Amino acid sequence: MQPTPSPIPDNNVDPAFARFSQFIARELGIKMPPEKSPLLMSRLRERIQDLKLGGLEDYQRYLFELPDSSAEWDEFIDRVTTNKTDFFREPGHFDYLSGTVLPALAAPRGPTWQLKLWCAGCSSGEETYTLAMTLSEYAQSHPGFDYSIFATDISTRVLALAQTAIYPQAKIDPVPTELRRRYLLRGEGAQRDNVRIVPELRQKTRFSRLNFMNDHFGVSELFDVIFFRNVMIYFERETQQAVLTKMCRQLKPGGYLFVGHAESLMGLKLPLQPMARAVFRRTCTRFSGF
């Protein structure tokens, strides 16, 4: 992952930051304007100190000389990516999923069918397990329904947390009491301040690392529903178009895409029809972006 040399447009911008900014935008899709310089430095400062390096420029020189297989690249990505998530964040989406989307998808399939859902940009797993709770609740009242969840993120650190499925008690406040009883296990001993998602839900989820900037994602299956929420706010518009075009290839015709409430698809050329707030449905089998 070597940087591509390019001119630095602003003489007031630290050269090391400018090179990191260009690299992060190209390799991770994340926009890093000059005003984010203090943020980047704050995220890398501890690592620079751990390595006993003199500053950002020394760290950049050190990092870019390492092979792509070096664990330091994972460390760098973990530090520069933003991982913010909660249980039942933007809760109306989960109501819409169970009350509108699932019945609409079930209608042409008959009583026995399986939903395939992709939680893209899953962070530490709270959204993934919220989806698992929602789908399991639906399954209880709809015999014959089953589901699987594919969850991805670029950060190895948050994926490791998601796979443990262990969370502090303070994180579960948004989870309704009845769902806590059914789907959360109380910790004991050293884990008494934590909870863990029940095995039945963990078995329904599969976590994998994925970079949205990869040409083809490395995903072969098609999904009925994709949750891609509060991720593309970090992307430039051109990157949003490219990523969502690839994502639509993985969405079945008639399938649903959920994005964050603060995100807009206005002006993007995509085969998507708005259905509800930040919810879209794929409308055709082919489109010019393919």
35-44 burial string, b = 16+ CB within 10 Å, else e? ebbeebbebb
* pLDDT tens column, 166-177: 999 999 999 999
Any idea of the CA torsion for 256, 262, 268, 270, to the nearest 10 degrees?
Answer: 0
Report the pLDDT value the prediction gives residue 288, as an integer from 0 to 100: 52
Of all residues in the chain, the percent with pLDDT exceeding 70 is 93
Report the pLDDT value the prediction gives residue 287, as an integer from 0 to 100: 52
Residue showing tokens 């098609």 = 222
Q: Whole-angstrom Cα distance, residue 106 to residue 147?
A: 12
Task: Catalytic residue, from 43, 47, 157, 180: name it.
Answer: 43
In the annotation, is 79 catalytic?
A: no
Task: Catalytic residue, from 14, 19, 78, 153: name it.
Answer: 153
Q: Whole-angstrom Cα distance, residue 24 to residue 287?
A: 30
Domain residue spans in the chain? 15-80, 92-282
Those residues with Cβ within 8 angstroms of residue 272's Cβ, 6 or more apart along the chain or in another chain = 248, 257, 265, 280, 281, 282, 283
pTM metric for this prediction: 0.90
Q: How far is CA 104 from CA 84, 90, 107, 146, in A?
A: 31, 21, 6, 15
Q: How far is CA 10 from CA 15, 33, 237, in A?
A: 9, 11, 22
In the annotation, is 153 catalytic?
A: yes
CATH fold group of domain 15-80: Chemotaxis Receptor Methyltransferase Cher; domain 1 (1.10.155)
Where the chain has pLDDT below 50, the residues are 2-11, 290
DSSP character at residue 30? B
Report the pLDDT value the prediction gives residue 285, as an integer from 0 to 100: 59
- Structure tokens belonging to residue 99: 């009350």
CATH fold group of domain 92-282: Rossmann fold (3.40.50)
What DSSP string runs through 63-127?
A: HHTS-TT-HHHHHHHHHHS-----TTSSTHHHHHIIIIIHHHHHTTT-S-EEEEEEEES-TTSHH
Count the alpha carbons within 13 Å of 94 in the hemisphere toward its beta carbon: 21
Report the pLDDT value the prediction gives residue 289, as an integer from 0 to 100: 52
